[in-house]
């Protein structure tokens, strides 16, 4: 069992994302399943982070506005961070949270768009991001596969409880991820966590990282097609998972190579207002996104999608409820 760690506050850094920056819609995605390494309330996000072998607790506090963004980042840890590591950590966080995304051309292209314009105005400054490492995203992608949300939550929690570590900081108790090197498990041991056939995927992906078969920072600098093929080479990682990763981790805002059946139904209703039970062909959907949203297909759909799920957070959206399996 993991040992709970009490972290002490180390220091606070000021962060300034590019404007416009919308704190809450960037730091909280109502469509994401709740995972025990993070929590959010308006203006604040708590997040654990595995970095340079350290287990960190991060607290982001909004101290700015959309047009003059400013965040205070509290770093909690057991040991003081070396001074040199601090700057590198800020660089890493800027990357992961997509703080340097230039939204101006996107805003300009779609501000007058009949459907997208008003949504863009409502969520101006929102951006996709992923707070964790590529490895950590892959684990999440694996537990998402072929499961209801409820079950994905249970699987990730079981993994955290067995291989992660519970960190206490700023009044929160959140799990921190394990590293590939730390997960010395057999397929059978993983199966005990009731993750089923995904045990093999978790194991093989973990081994690939531990063996140095791929490296996140190297991959960031690689071409889109190289990133895609490297990810697809991982056992248990297919087109659906890769699509999310290319957008959320590698920030490809025009990603739209794959649409899975459940998304196809929701897109059909959202963009064509047709019965989700007789959805628009995937090829037709992609062609339409091409014609209307390129070269920002992912980002445009992200805005519409998040807008929908924020609505749902406030009040159930009748047609949507049966299309998402909780």
Contact status: 195 vs DNA (CB under 7 A): yes
Which residue in 128, 131, 236, 279 binds DNA (CB under 7 A)?
236
In the bound state with DNA, the residue whose beta carbon lies nearer, of 57 and 128, is 128
> In DSSP terms, which residues pair with 31 in a beta bridge?
none
Contact status: 262 vs DNA (CB under 7 A): yes
> In DSSP terms, which residues pair with 272 in a beta bridge?
none
In the bound state with DNA, the residue whose beta carbon lies nearer, of 111 and 260, is 260
Of 139-178, which residues contact DNA (CB under 7 A)? 141, 144-151, 154
Minimum gap (Å) between residue 238 Cβ and DNA: 2
**Do β-strands 165-169 and 5-6 pair in parallel, antiparallel, or remain unpaired?**
parallel
Which residue in 9, 11, 194, 220 binds DNA (CB under 7 A)?
194
Find all residues with CB under 8 Å of 13, minimum gap 6, and list them: 72, 73, 75, 86, 90
CB distance 83 to 74 below 8 Å: no
Minimum gap (Å) between residue 149 Cβ and DNA: 4
**Structural element, H or E, at residue 286:** helix 282-293
Query: Cα separation of 122 and 24, whole Å?
Result: 12
Contact status: 32 vs DNA (CB under 7 A): yes
CB distance 50 to 137 below 8 Å: no
Of 33-52, which residues contact DNA (CB under 7 A)? 33
Contact status: 264 vs DNA (CB under 7 A): no
- Where does this chain bind DNA (CB under 7 A)? 31-33, 141, 144-151, 154, 191, 194-198, 200, 234-242, 260-262, 324-326
């Amino acid at each position: 069992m993991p040992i709970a760690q009490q972290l002490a506050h180390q220091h606070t850094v000021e962060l300034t994302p590019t404007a416009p920056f919308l704190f809450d819609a960037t730091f909280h995605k109502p469509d994401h399943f709740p995972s025990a390494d993070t929590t959010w309330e308006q203006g604040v996000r708590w997040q654990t982070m595995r970095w340079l072998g350290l287990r960190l607790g991060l607290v982001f506090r909004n101290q700015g506005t959309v047009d003059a963004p400013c965040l205070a980042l509290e770093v909690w840890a057991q040991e003081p961070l070396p001074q040199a590591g601090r700057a590198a950590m800020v660089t890493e966080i800027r990357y992961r949270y997509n703080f340097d995304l230039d939204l101006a051309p996107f805003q300009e292209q779609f501000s007058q768009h009949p459907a997208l314009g008003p949504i863009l105005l409502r969520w101006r400054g929102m951006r996709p991001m992923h707070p964790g490492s590529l490895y950590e995203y892959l684990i999440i992608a694996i537990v998402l596969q072929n499961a209801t949300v409820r079950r994905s939550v249970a699987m990730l929690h079981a993994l955290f409880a067995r291989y992660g570590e519970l960190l206490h900081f700023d009044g929160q108790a959140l799990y921190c991820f394990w590293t590939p090197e730390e997960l010395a498990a057999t397929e059978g041991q993983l199966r005990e966590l009731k993750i089923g056939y995904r045990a093999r995927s978790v194991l093989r992906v973990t081994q690939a990282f531990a063996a140095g078969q791929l490296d996140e920072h190297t991959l960031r600098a690689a071409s889109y097609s190289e990133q895609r093929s490297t990810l697809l080479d991982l056992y248990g990682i297919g087109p659906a998972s890769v699509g999310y990763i290319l957008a959320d981790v590698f920030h490809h805002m025009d990603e739209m190579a794959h649409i899975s059946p459940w998304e196809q139904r929701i897109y059909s209703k959202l963009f064509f207002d047709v019965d989700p039970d007789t959805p628009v062909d995937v090829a037709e959907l992609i062609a339409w996104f091409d014609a209307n949203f390129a070269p920002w297909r992912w980002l445009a759909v992200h805005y519409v999608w998040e807008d929908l799920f924020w609505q749902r957070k406030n009040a159930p959206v009748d047609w949507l409820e049966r299309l998402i399996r909780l």
